[in-house]
Amino acid sequence: MFRDWDIERLVDRITREVSEEVSKLVESVASPIRLATCITPGGYRRPISEAYIDGDEVVVVIELPAASKESIDLRVREREVEVEAGFSEELKKIAPKYSMFKGKGYRTVVS
Protein backbone atom coordinates (compact mmCIF):
# COMPACT_ATOMS: atom_id res chain seq x y z
CA MET A 1 0.00 0.00 0.00
CA PHE A 2 1.35 3.43 -0.93
CA ARG A 3 1.56 6.19 1.61
CA ASP A 4 1.18 9.83 0.60
CA TRP A 5 4.92 10.48 0.89
CA ASP A 6 5.66 7.39 -1.26
CA ILE A 7 3.45 8.76 -4.01
CA GLU A 8 5.05 12.20 -3.74
CA ARG A 9 8.53 10.67 -4.01
CA LEU A 10 7.43 8.60 -7.01
CA VAL A 11 5.94 11.65 -8.75
CA ASP A 12 9.10 13.67 -8.01
CA ARG A 13 11.32 10.92 -9.41
CA ILE A 14 9.23 10.52 -12.57
CA THR A 15 9.12 14.29 -13.08
CA ARG A 16 12.89 14.52 -12.70
CA GLU A 17 13.48 11.64 -15.13
CA VAL A 18 11.13 13.10 -17.75
CA SER A 19 12.80 16.49 -17.38
CA GLU A 20 16.24 14.93 -17.87
CA GLU A 21 15.07 13.06 -20.98
CA VAL A 22 13.57 16.22 -22.50
CA SER A 23 16.81 18.08 -21.77
CA LYS A 24 18.81 15.33 -23.49
CA LEU A 25 16.48 15.46 -26.50
CA VAL A 26 16.81 19.23 -26.84
CA GLU A 27 20.58 19.04 -26.36
CA SER A 28 20.97 16.32 -28.99
CA VAL A 29 19.03 18.37 -31.52
CA ALA A 30 20.50 21.72 -30.57
CA SER A 31 24.18 20.87 -30.13
CA PRO A 32 24.91 20.89 -33.88
CA ILE A 33 23.26 24.30 -34.05
CA ARG A 34 25.95 25.76 -31.82
CA LEU A 35 28.41 25.13 -34.64
CA ALA A 36 26.65 27.90 -36.53
CA THR A 37 27.78 30.60 -34.13
CA CYS A 38 28.21 33.59 -36.41
CA ILE A 39 25.22 35.87 -35.91
CA THR A 40 24.40 38.40 -38.64
CA PRO A 41 23.34 41.96 -37.76
CA GLY A 42 19.78 40.96 -38.72
CA GLY A 43 19.66 38.26 -36.02
CA TYR A 44 20.23 35.23 -38.25
CA ARG A 45 22.76 32.45 -37.72
CA ARG A 46 25.20 31.78 -40.52
CA PRO A 47 25.13 28.00 -41.02
CA ILE A 48 28.08 25.80 -41.87
CA SER A 49 28.28 25.40 -45.63
CA GLU A 50 30.56 23.95 -48.26
CA ALA A 51 30.66 24.16 -52.05
CA TYR A 52 32.71 21.96 -54.36
CA ILE A 53 32.87 20.88 -57.99
CA ASP A 54 32.10 17.26 -58.84
CA GLY A 55 32.69 16.67 -62.54
CA ASP A 56 30.47 19.15 -64.36
CA GLU A 57 28.30 19.89 -61.30
CA VAL A 58 28.66 22.37 -58.47
CA VAL A 59 27.52 20.84 -55.18
CA VAL A 60 26.49 23.07 -52.27
CA VAL A 61 25.93 21.55 -48.81
CA ILE A 62 24.38 23.74 -46.13
CA GLU A 63 23.70 22.42 -42.62
CA LEU A 64 20.40 23.63 -41.18
CA PRO A 65 19.82 21.65 -37.97
CA ALA A 66 16.47 22.34 -36.30
CA ALA A 67 15.23 24.26 -39.34
CA SER A 68 11.69 23.77 -40.51
CA LYS A 69 11.69 22.14 -43.95
CA GLU A 70 8.68 24.26 -44.93
CA SER A 71 10.50 27.50 -44.08
CA ILE A 72 13.54 26.94 -46.31
CA ASP A 73 13.80 29.62 -48.99
CA LEU A 74 16.42 28.78 -51.62
CA ARG A 75 17.51 31.23 -54.34
CA VAL A 76 20.00 30.20 -57.01
CA ARG A 77 21.75 32.84 -59.08
CA GLU A 78 24.52 32.57 -61.66
CA ARG A 79 27.38 32.49 -59.15
CA GLU A 80 25.74 32.09 -55.74
CA VAL A 81 23.16 30.25 -53.69
CA GLU A 82 21.23 32.09 -51.00
CA VAL A 83 19.38 30.23 -48.25
CA GLU A 84 17.11 31.45 -45.49
CA ALA A 85 15.30 29.16 -43.04
CA GLY A 86 13.38 29.48 -39.79
CA PHE A 87 13.53 27.18 -36.80
CA SER A 88 11.06 24.33 -36.32
CA GLU A 89 7.98 25.50 -34.42
CA GLU A 90 7.80 22.07 -32.76
CA LEU A 91 11.27 22.49 -31.26
CA LYS A 92 10.48 26.06 -30.22
CA LYS A 93 7.47 24.71 -28.28
CA ILE A 94 9.57 22.01 -26.59
CA ALA A 95 12.25 24.46 -25.48
CA PRO A 96 10.74 27.95 -25.63
CA LYS A 97 13.38 29.51 -23.37
CA TYR A 98 16.36 28.02 -25.21
CA SER A 99 18.47 31.00 -26.28
CA MET A 100 19.05 29.54 -29.74
CA PHE A 101 15.42 30.04 -30.70
CA LYS A 102 15.45 33.73 -29.85
CA GLY A 103 17.15 34.27 -33.24
CA LYS A 104 15.25 34.42 -36.51
CA GLY A 105 16.78 31.30 -38.05
CA TYR A 106 19.48 30.84 -40.67
CA ARG A 107 20.64 32.99 -43.56
CA THR A 108 23.69 32.63 -45.80
CA VAL A 109 25.01 33.20 -49.29
CA VAL A 110 27.43 30.65 -50.77
CA SER A 111 29.37 31.71 -53.86
Count CA atoms within 13 Å of residue 28 on its CB side. Answer: 6
The domain made up of 4-110 is a member of CATH 2.20.28: no
Tell me the per-residue pLDDT of 72-106, one tens digit each, with 9 for 90 and over: 999 999 889 999 999 988 888 888 888 777 788 99
In angstroms, rounded to a whole number, what is the distance separating the alpha carbons of residues 58 and 82?
14
Spatial neighbors of 10 by CB under 8 A, at least 6 apart, are: 2
**pLDDT over 70, % of the chain:** 86
Residue 33 confidence (pLDDT) above 70: no
pTM, 2 dp: 0.62
